[in-house]
Amino acid sequence: MSTFKELIEDEKPLLVDFFATWCGPCRMMAPELDKLKQIMGDSIRIIKVDVDKNQQAAMAYRVSGVPTLILFRKGQILWRQSGAMTARQLSDIIRSKTTA
């Protein structure tokens, strides 16, 4: 099992979904993230971080609203956005940010 820091610093892009169990839009993101994984396959890693259980991580990345999605690669933030999105929107953004 890799640590959060190791995942962020990896060559493989990492999409982090900062969410809360009580958040309606966050619950809507779960099936979209499943679809995204089907679209992107092994070219990306996706993890979910519960902001109520991981307040330090949420504060470290200044997550003020949920869901907040942050795309990391090699320790850098390539993209971030708050709010729900479709799998297709996410795959387009991820491809544009990781093939530069």
Q: What strand order describes the sheet that includes 76-82?
A: 45-50, 14-19, 68-73, 76-82
pLDDT at 100: 59
Catalytic residue among 7, 9, 10, 23: 23
26 is catalytic: yes
H-helix or E-strand spanning residue 87: helix 87-98
23 is catalytic: yes
Backbone angles phi, psi at 67, to 5 degrees: -75, 145
All structural domains of the chain, each given as residue ranges with its CATH number in brackets, are 4-98 (3.40.30.10)
* pTM (predicted TM-score): 0.94
pLDDT digits (tens, 9 = 90+) for 29-68: 999 999 999 999 999 999 999 999 999 999 999 999 999 9
Catalytic residue among 15, 16, 26, 51: 26
